[in-house]
Amino acid sequence: MTRQPGLARRAEALLDAAVVSTAPVAGGDVATATKLRLSNGTTALMKTLSPAPAGFFEQEAQGLRWLAEAAGGVHVPDVLAVDADCLILAWVEPGRPTADDAAAFGRRLATTHAAGAPAHGADHDGFIGRLPLPHRTAPTWAEFYAVRRLLPYAKLARDRGALSADDAAAVEAVVRRLPALVPEEPPARLHGDLWNGNVLWGLEGRASVVDPAAHGGHREVDLAMLALFGLQNLPRVLDGYQEVAPLADGWEDRVGLFQLFPLLVHACLFGGGYGARTAALARSYA
């Protein structure tokens, strides 16, 4: 049994329990994750980042709590403590989901989305990875997706050399067509960064979601993100989702449209072939 004294003392200052042991957890690209065993018999996950951008963990905790307010929605681990340099969550013991578990997750995700949001966006900005994420509201999803997602990140990718001028022009051409491409719906309560790594399957088969970039927006955004890097049993997730909240006609044709933003984020963060992949997808909608 090991114990990192400095990290344990930091956790104990925020929790009403002693830390018996600590263990590193693999996976996070941004923060350092550590499993804590506490003297009260519970287990927790501690995420740390120093220095963290101002509001980084506070915004994550706020997003988790907002998602958890959706009665009957997708499960969210309890926020045990949060401070400028760390976030402590209830531990989710990993399990292996069945097809029925996946369908149940789809139904719960639909319920979370249906809980709604006041507007497209939020009353505060957030983060996607280490990048700032503007959330200032817009009257329509097409406008929000254009001016808070595609255009700013296409510019950043261009500035970082991850997107050529021609490729950026392809994204801008899609922006001009968004009102005709995207059916307007009331703003859903979105996770906002729902790739498969942010879906944790517990021992009992229940899915929990973590690391949100929560805001109000088009519900197909979360579903497209689940498809981008491949969630286990995704067809059953979609089946369960549609049992509760059928998707608008043509949603399959819009999956790539809603993947443009996360691909741009990856181009900004990692370069490589993400810029070219974004542009190829954008040209399919031009």
CATH assignment of the domain containing 213: 3.90.1200.10
Q: Domain boundary residue among 67, 90, 113?
A: 90
Q: Domain boundary residue among 61, 90, 119?
A: 90
Q: Using omega within 30 degrees of 0 as the cis cutoff, is the peptide bond preceding 51 cis?
A: yes
DSSP state of 192: S
Q: Domain boundary residue among 90, 119, 143?
A: 90
User: Do 135 and 207 reside in the same domain of the chain?
Assistant: yes
State the total domains in the chain.
Answer: 2
Low-confidence residues of the chain, pLDDT below 50?
none
Place of tokens 């958890």: 68
E-state strands within 121-161: 126-128, 131-133
pTM across the whole model: 0.96
Q: Choosing from 193, 211, 222, 253, which is the catalytic residue? A: 193
Q: Is 100 a catalytic residue?
A: no
Residue 2: predicted pLDDT: 84
The Cα-based distances of 151 to 2, 134, 158, 176, 210 in angstroms read: 47, 12, 10, 11, 27
User: Do 115 and 76 reside in the same domain of the chain?
Assistant: no
- How many Cβ atoms are within 10 Å of 199's Cβ, its own excluded? 22
Give the separation between CA 53 and CA 130, rounded to whole angstroms: 8
**Residue 254, both tokens:** 């819009």
Residue 22: predicted pLDDT: 95
CATH assignment of the domain containing 37: 3.30.200.20
Residues spanned by the domain of 221: 99-283
Closest to 224 measured CA to CA, from 246, 251, 189: 251
User: Do 49 and 169 reside in the same domain of the chain?
Assistant: no
Q: Which amino acid is at 192?
A: G
pLDDT tens string 223-245: 999 999 999 899 999 999 999 99
User: Do 42 and 128 reside in the same domain of the chain?
Assistant: no
Residue 29: predicted pLDDT: 75
User: Do 179 and 202 reside in the same domain of the chain?
Assistant: yes
Give the separation between CA 92 and CA 200, rounded to whole angstroms: 7
